[in-house]
């Protein structure tokens, strides 16, 4: 479906950015991208995707997922991705073919709504999205004790 060497060279800086100690690959393209590495950190899930597969996965640092948005209906794919990013991996790289995913109901805003950022596109039409928990919610200036707690007022007023 794709040139795995070109895609793996495109993904290499993003994978190294997260410096993972353990990696989960799910889907054929994801596995092919990291197949050149004889890496002991890898766990692999095969398609078809199911919730049962995730019960056997131990927590990991990075999940590299492909063919998910193209093979499952939108609700099931969202549930599967949500489970990965909320329970198992603080960092997720998702490889998607937007034209095929659109047939399952996916739009660009659906990726953004799940906290993914578009990071790259390949020559053969694949799009790469990234999720990192530390970048999911930016720090707000107002979200601190200076604006919420007033310890100097405790005991002075009754409300």
94 within 8 A of 131, measured Cβ to Cβ:
yes
Domain-embedded: residue 158: no
Number of domains the chain is built from: 1
Predicted confidence pLDDT, tens digits, the chain (159 residues):
456 677 777 888 888 888 888 888 888 888 887 765 556 667 777 777 777 777 878 888 988 898 888 888 899 899 989 989 888 889 999 999 988 888 988 999 999 999 999 988 777 788 999 999 888 777 777 776 666 666 676 667 665
For residue 37, give the CATH number of its domain: 3.40.50.150
How far is Cα 141 from Cα 85, in angstroms, rounded to an integer?
A: 26
Beta-carbon contacts of 152 under 8 Å, excluding residues fewer than 6 positions away, are: none
Domain-embedded: residue 159: no
Output the pLDDT for position 38.
59
23: its two tokens? 């990696």
Domain-embedded: residue 73: yes
Domain-embedded: residue 48: yes
Full domain range(s) for residue 12? 4-153
Output the pLDDT for position 131.
92
Output the pLDDT for position 133.
87
45 within 8 A of 24, measured Cβ to Cβ:
yes
Domain-embedded: residue 114: yes
């Amino acid at each position: 479906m794709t040139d795995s060497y070109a895609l793996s060279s495109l993904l290499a800086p993003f994978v190294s950015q997260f410096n993972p100690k353990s990696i989960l690959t799910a889907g054929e393209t994801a596995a092919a991208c990291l197949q050149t590495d004889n890496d002991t950190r890898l766990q692999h899930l095969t398609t078809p995707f199911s919730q049962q597969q995730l019960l056997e996965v131990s927590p990991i640092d990075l999940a590299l997922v492909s063919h998910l948005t193209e093979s499952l209906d939108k609700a099931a794919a969202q549930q599967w991705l949500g489970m990965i990013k909320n329970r198992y991996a603080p960092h997720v790289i998702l490889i998607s073919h937007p034209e095929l995913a659109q047939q399952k109901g996916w739009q660009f805003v659906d990726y953004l709504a799940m906290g993914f950022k578009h990071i790259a596109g390949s020559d053969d039409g694949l799009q790469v999205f990234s999720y990192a928990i530390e970048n999911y919610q930016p720090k707000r200036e107002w979200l601190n004790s200076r604006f919420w707690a007033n310890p100097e007022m405790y005991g002075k007023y009754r409300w």
